[in-house]
Amino acid sequence: MTRTEGKLPVAILVPGDFNDHAVGRIDEAFKLVRIERADPGLVTEEMRAAVRGIASYAGINAAMIDALPNLEIIASFGVGYDSVDANHAAKRGVMVTNTPDVLTEEVADTAIGLLINTVRELYAAEKWLRDGDWVKRGNYRLSRLTLRGRRVGIFGMGRIGRAVARRLEAFGLPIAYHNRRKVEGLAYDYHATLKGLAEAVDTLICIAPGGASTEKAINAEILSALGSSGVFVNIGRGSAVDETALAAALESGTIAAAGLDVFADEPNVPRALLDAANASLLPHVGSASVHTRRAMADLCVDNLVAWFTERRPLTPVPETINVRPRG
């Protein structure tokens, strides 16, 4: 069988770098079109006429959507899709899908690992060993913090938030949360404001989505409310944190420590956070296992296949739930 046999007569645009497994599947099922980045200026007349779908990590803004008049679907790789203008897509009749559920457990595992790493200073203890200080200077110091007796607040009680909470229950820790609205059926204490949650706990885990509604929600006021024994962990979106305020809070002792897997301007991490001895930093690896990224890639492509064969999405985002196939 030749490479073109069995392909759907549909052009799928993949801007920039993308998951190799997903690219391979798209190339087998569709006509694959690559461009360097999601830039309307790179869209040719041939692309304008042919492209009906996009598969992307990258932000797809209104201008990019408008540059492709025959666009029907944007398959976004990841559960967060704040870099896609889903509202504009809905107005244009373009479906947007994401990849929920398949990464939930992996990210929740990472959140717990990052929390323990931060509280017990495991990152610094390992460096102590690797640098030879255990031999030259003796035992690593006792960690100032512990999980024992902590009260945990979760900002963003969605799928991942609930998975994190289930894991924390095994530690015997009380859990509270803040969402835009109370989640029916959850026994955890609900706080109507983020500040109220921060005042009630000493450990705050951010799993909130990005976007205007959460922009710098974790600010100096929230960190102050968390308190001097407070620990902040972010596994959600870097944009939800005022990183200048966080660095100042770490330096001044306003909070005790922070564990961060996400940043506002990735991969650029502020020097003040890099220099903070009481911060554990990861390069956005929450879902970064071969197993989980392959599952995400499959769901991303499965959405494209379902849309162009069965005329339905598998995992539409709320903004485009009412978008219907053309023709």
Catalytic residues: 237, 266, 284
Instruction: Enumerate residues 6+ apart whose C-beta is below 8 A from 75.
Output: 53, 54, 55, 56, 97, 300, 301, 303, 304
DSSP secondary-structure letter at 5? T
Other beta carbons less than 10 A from residue 124's beta carbon: 15
DSSP secondary-structure letter at 95? E
CB 155 within 8 A of CB 180: no
Sheet bearing 95-97, strands edge to edge: 31-35, 11-15, 51-56, 73-76, 95-97
CB 173 within 8 A of CB 150: yes
Instruction: Enumerate residues 6+ apart whose C-beta is below 8 A from 102.
Output: 292, 295, 296, 298, 299
Residue 202 burial class via C-beta count within 10 angstroms: exposed 0-12, middle 13-18, buried 19 and up = buried
Q: How many helices, marked H, and strands, marked E, lie in the chain?
A: 13, 12
Task: Give the position of tokens 């095994």.
Answer: 170
Instruction: Give the whole-angstrom CA distance, residue 262 versus residue 236.
Output: 7
128, two tokens: 């102590």
In one letter, which amino acid is 87?
A: N
